[in-house]
Structure 1
């Protein structure tokens, strides 16, 4: 069993069903004074990059300080509207059982996400998916703009070698970030990328969802499908 499982959050463990975009829009307005008319690409992208590129779409040039204000506002919006997130969003099928099953076989589990850490924590807490997550071992959007660097940082924080880890995510960016560090990937086609896209990206295994916990544990262990 690999010592470390690195989870993506959005469209891997949960789906906010549009609430996430609304909260980002509220934080964007609070930070910039402008209504967010459109949003930059978000799949597999870290929060600082999404904010910067979204600001550019509105003719704005931003600084790190601007992002930090946005991050605080975004955290506040998630705290304020947590009940709405719970009502409108949902944990994806099999997510809770997958986390439980991996904990039962001794895997350490953490998060590598483009979300900032406070939002990552809120998102999983809201859906009861946080109990096995070792947050201090993870890496988050505020840590680096580049997903591959987040994977590298998490390995360092966990004192784990690449061959001791596996990443579970839903985008080609997850695959690329893991492979840049020599980490295996189990891709889940529960987001916008279908199984063909994820296989073409090079994922070692691709699942349609997380419902088959026995298969997931085998794949995490490195057993062939």
Structure 2
């Protein structure tokens, strides 16, 4: 039986946190630098937290770039934000996909996200999903997104002591950048229109598979046996 590796994006793919991350980053910026809406105009979709934060520092002309200090404050603000956020939700079909495959010995779920690891864990644990993801590639470092996905693959091989055929590795996300990662690495891409891009917009980037949502989770699972 061949091993299958699913590499999941978080925001817009697994969950909708209703802007919690952006608000927490704005609050962290306000606390540290007394600047309101420090991330205004910064495109966050599909991008790494390290790059997002760097861009905000540049826009607001903050010369002293202490990334760890900012992440510490962001973590503090995100905890508060999530505690008060009752509208964030797991996206359709995700619970069913994760639950129905969690005991499948040859199928592994990992994260491949632009979120820093602390932010990723907080967002997922808030909605009860953290238990499904032991490892992943995260946006803490200044790297290209495909390099984060490559790191997730390498970690999975080591952590699970498993080999994966490139045809059995799927990167799953809601942005063109996720599709691009699949093409660069020679792995399958699964696009889903539950984030900021429509099916028509995502289709232009030619993913291997595309879904309006994962509400029909059995349809998603069916691609894994092809």
TM-score, scaled to structure 2: 0.89
Q: Deviation per CA, 1:42-76: give whole Å up to 9, x if none.
A: 0011001111112222233453xx22211111112
**Which sits farther off after the overlay, 37-46 or 183-192?**
37-46
Q: 1:154 aligns with which of 148, 152, 155?
A: 152
Residues 91 and 212 (structure 1), Cα distance of their counterparts in 2 relative to 1, 3 Å cut: same
Q: Does 2:116 correspond to 1:116? A: yes
Q: Deviation per CA, 1:148-199: give whole Å up to 9, x if none.
A: 0001111111124433311111000111122211111111100111112212
Runs (5+) with no aligned partner, structure 2 = 158-162
Runs (5+) with no aligned partner, structure 1 = none
Q: 1:142 and 1:201 mapped to 2: Cα distance?
A: 26
Which SS does the other structure have where 1:180 is aligned? helix
Which SS does the other structure have where 1:45 is aligned? coil
Q: 1:124 and 1:194 mapped to 2: Cα distance?
A: 24
Residue of structure 2 equivalent to 1:27: 28
Q: 2:92 and 2:171 mapped to 1: Cα distance?
A: 18
Moved over 6 A (4+): none
Q: Does 2:46 correspond to 1:47? A: no
Which SS does the other structure have where 2:84 is aligned? helix
Q: 1:144 and 1:7 mapped to 2: Cα distance?
A: 19
Residues 101 and 144 (structure 1), Cα distance of their counterparts in 2 relative to 1, 3 Å cut: farther
Confirm or deny: 8 A CA contact 2:50 2:141 kept in the other structure.
no
TM-score, scaled to structure 1: 0.89
Q: 2:168 and 2:118 mapped to 1: Cα distance?
A: 27
Confirm or deny: 8 A CA contact 1:46 1:114 kept in the other structure.
yes
Q: 2:184 aligns with which of 176, 180, 195?
A: 180
Q: Deviation per CA, 1:16-57: give whole Å up to 9, x if none.
A: 212222111011223333222514100011001111112222
